[in-house]
Amino acid sequence: CHLIHYLRLSHHLIVLNYLIHTFDMLKSASSEDINITDAIFDGVKVRVFEPPAKGDERLKRSVVYIHGGGWALASARTSLYNNLCGIMAESLNAVIVSVEYRLVPEVCFPEQFHDALRATKHFLQPDVLAEYSVDPSRIAISGDSAGGNLAAAVCQQLSKEENLTVRPKLQALIYPVLQAFDFNTPSYQQNMNMAILPRSVMINYWIDYLSGNYDLVHSLLINNHTALDVGQALSFRRHLNWTSLLPSSFKKNYKPVIQTTGKAEIIQEIPALLDVRAVPLLAENETLQLQPKTYILTCENDVLRDDGVMYAKRLENAGVEVTLDHFDDCFHGCLIFTVWPTDFSAGIQTRKSYIKWLDENL
């Protein structure tokens, strides 16, 4: 993929996505009773999973789901997400709306955020909810990895909009990516070479998403973009102070990496590094106080572990009821690996816990 990119034949992410879709064997949802339809919500493609109607049944619950893939890969239509959403629809007896937002490199930030926001706001309209027989008081917003990033950002934006008549009851974030301020949190240091999502790959996803330059990888890796002399970053430092936000069991013996002098021009070149729509962990407490009851799933073997743990702590400090569901023996991306030949016990375990929380709280 990178050779093709180097030869300027195509972008490596386009090639990688093509390979993913080529080798993807689309399996049916968990039950033939689940009705799967594709629709357009305010210009955004979505896939809707509906369980069968029952004669005397009241309105159904619903989850707006936003898939992961570094804002660049996968799809609501791939077998892994098709299977997950089908099982959610069946297990919860709920309508699942899976958002097919546009990907890098076709578009970059903030378009993925806008797609997810538009589709969600369209679905939250009373007449649309009525069309799908959804209870307006029992809707969750959820997503994994980059989808968790978009779900958190959308939830924050919805909380600020005064004219909404329907708001989500819950948000459920699965190993979400929530910050690009510090690439040396304990989990980034501990798992820098971990399979699935090494630190360098996560930084590359950020650069692609925010239309940056790969020449900046090293500077980002050592936190030059948030050095003490970078004035734009100073006001945000308190929001990501992991020495106070993480429990000692996560901090271990790792030390903060804070440069005295750095490169302020990085923020000038990529201002979205400090944009709360891209980096939800930078949100002010006034916004966090407005967030709904929250579930955050984290895995020990994941560079993003501390993103989720810090967000959970900040939400809790802001008065939000939070469930932090941490798995010591699991890895990034595991929840969708439940279909042969990648049907891992870690995937079954995390999916069961996630759906159980939704079932008990939605």
Is 145 considered catalytic here? yes
Measured CA to CA in angstroms, residue 233 lies from 142, 153, 303 at distances of: 29, 19, 22
Residue 198 has pLDDT above 90, yes or no: yes
What are the Cα distances from residue 95, in Å, to 129, 190, 217?
10, 39, 41
Q: Is the pLDDT of residue 276 over 80?
A: yes
Share of the chain above pLDDT 90, in %: 81
Query: Which pLDDT belongs to residue 21?
Result: 52
CA distance 94 to 361: 13
pLDDT in tens, 36-72: 999 999 999 999 999 988 766 789 999 999 999 999 9
| Given the residues 115, 144, 182, 302, the one annotated as active site | 302
d(CA 98, CA 123): 11
Task: Please say if 302 is a catalytic residue.
Answer: yes
Looking at residues 157-180, what average pLDDT do you find?
Answer: 96
Residue 6, pLDDT score: 46
Closest-CA residue to 221 (of 202, 208, 237, 239)? 202
Q: What is the pLDDT of residues 279-313, one digit of tens each?
A: 999 999 999 999 999 999 999 999 999 999 999 99
| Element of type H or E holding 329 | strand 322-331
- How many Cβ atoms sit within 10 Å of the Cβ of residue 12? 18
In the predicted structure, residue 25 carries a pLDDT above the cut 80: no
| Predicted pLDDT at 31 | 56
Report pLDDT for 22.
52
What is the Cα–Cα distance from 150 to 177, expressed in whole angstroms? 9
In order of 34, 189, 249, 288, 302, the CA distances from 326 in angstroms are: 31, 18, 12, 21, 11
Instruction: Indicate which residue of 30, 98, 145, 187 is catalytic.
Output: 145
- Mean pLDDT for the stretch of residues 351-357: 97
Domains and their CATH numbers in the chain: 1-180+272-360 (3.40.50.1820)
Looking at every residue in the chain, the average pLDDT score rounds to 91
Asked if pLDDT for residue 270 goes beyond 80, the answer is yes
Q: pLDDT tens digits for 109-146? A: 999 999 999 999 999 999 999 999 999 999 999 999 99
With CA atoms as reference, report the closest residue to 124 among 89, 155, 91: 155
The pLDDT-based confidence of 8 (bands split at 50, 70, 90) is: very low
